[in-house]
Amino acid sequence: MELHAQTGDSPQLGTTQTSMTTSQVSVIVVADERLFRLGLARLLSEDDRLDVIGVSEGEPELVEICKASDVDVVVMDVQLSKTDGIDLIRSLASSCPNTQILFLTSVADWRIRPAMLAGAAGILLKDTSPQAITAAVISVHLGDQVLCNEAARWFLDDAPLTRLTQRESEVLRMVAKGASNPEIATHLQLGQKTVRNYVSRLYQKLDLTNRAQIATFAVHADIVDEPGRDQLAPTEDEPLVESL
């Protein structure tokens, strides 16, 4: 795998040469935004207890790199363009059981519970102070679970589903299976305007913006099975790991 070194003497992720000592916690930072991942990596590397060995956009080969390098902690943004963040958590947890995952998010939303069930050891908001994130990295490495207050409420209360009425849950399942508003109206014997109102309520209650997100939520929450390619609901308007 090609690696983009930041400095001439930086260790390359995946090679046998590394500056990590046995007392340090090896860390990879995963995020879409280059400035965010590099900035967070630099801040974390200022703590002598941590050895930030690389950053990534979430490429498929990341799992194999973590497995080969025996990475201690992956600090990752759940919003990734190269892969589904929750699927990546699940893959890391399955293939690298000794690697702990600290999940960062801009807002606490429906993805909290699926992320924890997939194998995340901790969840923090992205605007958490660098010191608190550093402390959380150490904690999850030691086997603790770390949840910010907002995430704890979503995880422990199962908030999204408990706020839905029975009819909203029925509409949710049909949207997730790819049904159009007219199809939902016919099946549930409702007016199309009423169905549109139910869909709007789902967006509001689940903090979602389109039907594709509803389908993803339903799959991760085990409300429906993984839809086939021809069943996915359409969206409506309503490389490489870099060493440091």
pLDDT digits (tens, 9 = 90+) for 86-103: 899 999 999 999 999 999
Which of 25-29, 61-65, 172-176 is most confident? Answer: 25-29
Flag whether pLDDT at 104 surpasses 90: yes
Contact 85, 115 (CB under 8 A): yes
Cβ atoms of 183 and 211 closer than 8 Å: no
How many Å apart are CA 78 and CA 107, to the nearest integer?
A: 11
Domains of the chain plus CATH, in order, are 25-157 (3.40.50.2300), 160-231 (1.10.10.10)
Residue 218 has pLDDT above 60, yes or no: yes
pLDDT of 51 over the 70 cut:
yes
Residue 48 has pLDDT above 60, yes or no: yes
The neighbouring-strand residues paired with 110 are none
Contacts of 132 (CB under 8 A, 6+ apart): 124
Give the pLDDT of residue 3. 31
Mean pLDDT of all residues in 129-154: 89
pLDDT attached to residue 8: 33
Average pLDDT, rounded, for the chain: 79
* Exposure letters 31-63 (e unless 16+ CB within 10 A, then b): beeeeebbebbebbbebeebbbbbbbbbbeebb
Question: Residue 14's CB: how many other CB atoms inside 10 A?
Answer: 18
Residue, of 21 and 158, whose pLDDT is higher: 158
Rounded Cα distance between 46 and 133, Å, is 12
pLDDT band with cut points at 50, 70 and 90 for residue 2: very low
Comparing 138 with 20, which gets the higher pLDDT?
138
| Structure token pair of residue 69 | 């390098």
Band (pLDDT 50/70/90 cuts) for residue 116 is: confident
| Residue 17 CA: distances (Å) to CA of 7, 21, 55, 119, 132 | 15, 11, 17, 29, 30
Give the range among 40-44, 71-75, 99-103, 197-201 with minimum mean pLDDT. Answer: 197-201
| Sheet order of strands, 122-125 included | 50-56, 25-30, 73-77, 100-105, 122-125, 146-147
Nearest to 99 by CA among 146, 64, 59: 64
Max Cα–Cα distance, the chain, nearest Å? 68
pLDDT of residue 180: 92
Q: Measured on CA atoms in the order 43, 44, 45, 49, is the torsion positive or negative?
A: positive
pLDDT for the residue numbered 236: 44
Q: Give the three-state DSSP class for 46.
A: coil
Q: Is the pTM of this model over 0.85?
A: no
Locate the DSSP E strands across 22-91.
25-30, 50-56, 73-77
Average pLDDT over residues 197-214: 83
Q: Of the ranges 74-78, 82-86, 143-147, 227-231, which one carries the lowest mean pLDDT score? A: 227-231
Q: What is the pLDDT of residue 157?
A: 59
pLDDT of 158: 54
In this structure, what are the phi and psi dihedrals at residue 55, rounded to the nearest 5 degrees?
-130, 160
Does pLDDT of 200 surpass 70?
Answer: yes
Which pLDDT band, with edges at 50, 70 and 90, does 209 fall under?
confident
